[in-house]
Structure 1
Amino acid sequence: MFLKYREGRLFRFGYYLLGSFIIILFNFIGQIPLVVSFTSSMISDNIEISPESNPMELLNIIPANLRLFLILLPFAISFLGFWLVIRKLHEQTMTSVTTSRNTIDWNRIIFAFSVWAVITSGLICFDYIVDPEGYKWNFKPLPFLFMFLISLLFIPIQTSLEEYVFRGYLMQGFANLFRNRWMPLLLTSFIFGSLHIANPEIAKLGYGLLGYYIGTGLFLGIITLLDDGIELALGFHAANNLVGAILVTADWTAFQTNSILISIAEPNLYREMFVSLFFFYPILLFVFARKYKWKNGFNSLTARI
């Protein structure tokens, strides 16, 4: 079982708190190049920061592709910290925080990635056809190529780190603490959603968007518990962020890239939340359940361990 009670001092919850601190420390180290680049750009351009300054707008003084790389770099450094925590602090393998299976099922990752990439790409194309005035064509071959390569390399690292930390590491840590499944599911979903509170999307759409992030965390946690591993969550999350970064961005999103399109339409919070949370996520659950023959669904989410 992916969630099970683990004996021994290395699996006491204090070790999970220490591990989380180490991962955060590595993340801070990874942010140093961004801070240095930002500071040097501010000085060279003689820009002053005021209390009313928008942090995301200030970051735009860094060229888009360099900015994307520097924003994603801390996740790569953090992944190294995560690997050290798993291997050295807890003396586990990466497979043990990925799946209950003997080896990582790459076919599951690819399937989830492919399904969600096709759906999100189709939705973007459909919306562009229906409302072309809501988009601005932004394709520039050379900047796009560099952005594509940066995204292809670093966005899967970013999304994988988040899945490993929340649906893998912390979910197992909370399971050892509470000895059930529902508390780890709820806590990791809430923490995952709450950490998005500083995203520029929240400033644009309001705190109601946290419901979408928490709901997405809940969905990813549910498929992790039902499938006894994070492979499906890894594929879904990578597709979600990668397709968005490559195809369309907006001036109010966390990733402002040299994407093919720029959305200039006014976003609709409740439409976006409803379509994802109450339409596509249930469909994905049904597809995954049929393909992987999940059984005892409710028990998988609530049973004690």
Structure 2
Amino acid sequence: MPDTMPFETFVSPARGRPQIWRLVLGLVICVLAMVLWLAALFGLLVLVIGQQEALGLLQGMAEPTTPRATLLLLATFVGMALGPVVAVRLLHRRRVGSLVGRRGRTVRHFLVAVGTTGAIYGLTLAVWTVQFDGEPNLPPDLWLTLLPLALLGVLVQTGAEELLFRGYLLQQLAARFASPLIYMLVPSLLFGMLHFDPATMGANAWAVVGSTAFFGLIAADLTVVTGTIGAAWGLHFANNVVALLLISTKGTITGLALFLTPYAADEVTITGPLLMADLALVSLVWGVLRFALRP
């Protein structure tokens, strides 16, 4: 029988005020926090570089192919992180730290997941280079200069998404509903829909939603098994470091990548099979992490 204690410990702070109206209002607060943060960020840019330059940067976020636009895009996720922080304090009267689980376990799970995912992805990239040649993007010296800031940006971006989907939303749904079909599946489907982008992905758009929702389901399962968001965050962070900073797919977020793929995101004949391979790869990482971090 699986040990449910880590998950019960993770969810218990949310059981004090589990009403659905609080969660709905909390999600409204999350949306408002993102909007207000974006407005504040734009205001700061106007003060520093002027209105026209600031507008140009914001427009560049729609197609983040430069380092500045990509770093700015990653910075917008601070607003996503602020939403759950405000919601749990204001509506649920619980500690912000309860969103992540026990601190020591969270850090350990994060590091194990980063190392495991990085090792498996590294081997996969070696296989990928046998079939494909990456195209140079950023000059190596510029890439190295930007790397610390880029890593921080990816840490913020992935951490914000984990706080919202595997922290706040999963916890509050689990506090109200006993079925994993609700507290695991609903956040995963919402996470998938967040990545719906037919303009970039073309005919692959719904396939990307499905694969992202599957990734979210794996992250949710790791959270349930371990009782922290550490493993999910580590998997997400390592995945996005590869996808955003090492080899980015053409037509996506490429501004901080060292290399680009020789194919674009909307080339179904190539990216379709690769999406299936990604699902298999993520499943492998999930299996290894589930074994390594079992209670």
TM-score, normalised to structure 1, is 0.79
Q: Report Cα offsets for 1:44-78 as digits up to 9, x if no partner.
A: 8xxxx9xxxx9845x65xxx121012111221133
Matched, 1:3 2:11: yes
Contact kept, 8 Å, 1:249 with 1:262, in 2: the verdict is yes
Contact kept, 8 Å, 1:26 with 1:78, in 2: the verdict is yes
Please state which structure has a larger fraction of its residues in helix: 2
Instruction: Determine the C-alpha separation between the residues in 1 that align with 2:26 and 2:192.
Output: 20
Shift in CA distance, 42/222, structure 1 to aligned 2, threshold 3 Å = closer
Q: Aligned ranges for residues 123-202 of structure 1 at < 5 Å?
A: 123-132=124-133, 135-198=134-197, 201-202=200-201
Q: Which residue of 2 aligns with 1:290?
A: 291
After the TM superposition, which of the residue ranges 28-37 and 281-290 deviates more from structure 2? 28-37
The one-letter code sitting in structure 1 at the alignment partner of 2:247 is: V
Instruction: Determine the C-alpha separation between the residues in 2 that align with 1:184 and 1:72.
Output: 27
Q: Deviation at 1:184?
A: 0.9
Q: Deviation at 1:212?
A: 0.5
Q: Deviation at 1:5?
A: 8.6
Q: Deviation at 1:259?
A: 1.9
Instruction: Determine the C-alpha separation between the residues in 2 that align with 1:165 and 1:128.
Output: 35
* 3-state SS of paired residue (2:254): coil
* 3-state SS of paired residue (2:260): strand
Q: Which residue of 1 aligns with 2:261?
A: 263
Select which of 14, 25, 39 maps to 1:18: 25
Q: Paired residues, what number?
A: 277
Contact kept, 8 Å, 1:26 with 1:74, in 2: the verdict is no
Contact kept, 8 Å, 2:15 with 2:176, in 1: the verdict is no
Select which of 21, 37, 40 maps to 2:52: 40
Shift in CA distance, 269/43, structure 1 to aligned 2, threshold 3 Å = closer
Q: Which residue of 1 aligns with 2:38?
A: 31
Instruction: Determine the C-alpha separation between the residues in 1 that align with 2:225 and 2:61.
Output: 40
After the TM superposition, which of the residue ranges 28-37 and 157-166 deviates more from structure 2? 28-37
Q: Report Cα offsets for 1:88-116 as digits up to 9, x if no partner.
A: 432222332222x4744311100101111
Contact kept, 8 Å, 2:61 with 2:72, in 1: the verdict is no
Q: Which runs of 5+ in 2 are unaligned?
A: 1-7
Q: Which runs of 5+ in 1 are unaligned?
A: 295-305
CA RMSD of superposed structures (Å): 3.1
Instruction: Determine the C-alpha separation between the residues in 1 that align with 2:137 and 2:61.
Output: 23
Query: Identity, % of aligned pairs?
Result: 21
Shift in CA distance, 243/208, structure 1 to aligned 2, threshold 3 Å = closer
Q: Deviation at 1:4?
A: 4.7
Instruction: Determine the C-alpha separation between the residues in 2 that align with 1:25 and 1:231.
Output: 26
Instruction: Determine the C-alpha separation between the residues in 1 that align with 2:108 and 2:61.
Output: 40
Q: Report Cα offsets for 1:276-302 as digits up to 9, x if no partner.
A: 32x3233223322332335xxxxxxxx
* 3-state SS of paired residue (2:250): coil
Q: Deviation at 1:163?
A: 0.9
Matched, 1:120 2:121: yes
